[in-house]
Amino acid sequence: MGKPDNLIDHVLTFIQNERELYGDFLIDQSLQGQTDETGKAQQVHDLDPPSSNNSSQTVTEPQDTSYNEDEAKGSIKEHSPSSIYDRIDECDTLEALEQLCKEADVLRTDLEGTQLVFGVGNPEADLMLIGKAPGAEEDRQGEPFVGKAGQLLNDILAAINFDREDVYIANILKHRPPNNRNPKPEERKRSLPFLLRQIDLINPKLILSLGKVSAQTLLDKDSSLSSMRGQFHSFRNNYELLATYHPAALLRHAKWKRPTWEDVQLLRKRYDEVKGRP
Binding site for ligand URA (CB under 6 A): 131-135, 138, 144-145, 147, 149-150, 171, 248
Nearer to ligand URA, 149 or 202 (CB): 149
- By C-alpha distance, which of 71, 66, 106, 68 is closest to 87? 106
Nearest-5° Cα angle at 43, 57 to 73? 85
- By C-alpha distance, which of 189, 181, 176, 178 is closest to 133? 176
Smallest distance, ligand URA to C-beta of residue 173, A = 9
Smallest distance, ligand URA to C-beta of residue 195, A = 13
Smallest distance, ligand URA to C-beta of residue 263, A = 16
Question: Residue 88: is it exposed, middle or buried by C-beta count within 10 angstroms (0-12/13-18/19+)?
Answer: buried
Nearer to ligand URA, 85 or 218 (CB): 218
Nearer to ligand URA, 15 or 136 (CB): 136
In angstroms, rounded to a whole number, what is the distance separating the alpha carbons of residues 109 and 172? Answer: 12
Nearer to ligand URA, 150 or 193 (CB): 150
Smallest distance, ligand URA to C-beta of residue 131, A = 3
In the bound complex, which residue of the shown chain has the CB atom lying closest to ligand URA? Answer: 131
Smallest distance, ligand URA to C-beta of residue 265, A = 22
Task: Check: CB of residue 15 under 8 Å from CB of residue 39.
Answer: no
- By C-alpha distance, which of 193, 190, 206, 182 is closest to 269? 206
Nearer to ligand URA, 9 or 143 (CB): 143
Smallest distance, ligand URA to C-beta of residue 89, A = 26
Task: Check: CB of residue 153 under 8 Å from CB of residue 251.
Answer: no
Nearer to ligand URA, 247 or 259 (CB): 247
Nearer to ligand URA, 147 or 204 (CB): 147
Task: Check: CB of residue 48 under 8 Å from CB of residue 29.
Answer: no
Residue length of the chain: 278
Task: Find the Cα–Cα–Cα–Cα dihedral 19, 25, 28, 30, rounded to 10°.
Answer: 30
Question: Residue 177: is it exposed, middle or buried by C-beta count within 10 angstroms (0-12/13-18/19+)?
Answer: buried
Smallest distance, ligand URA to C-beta of residue 149, A = 5
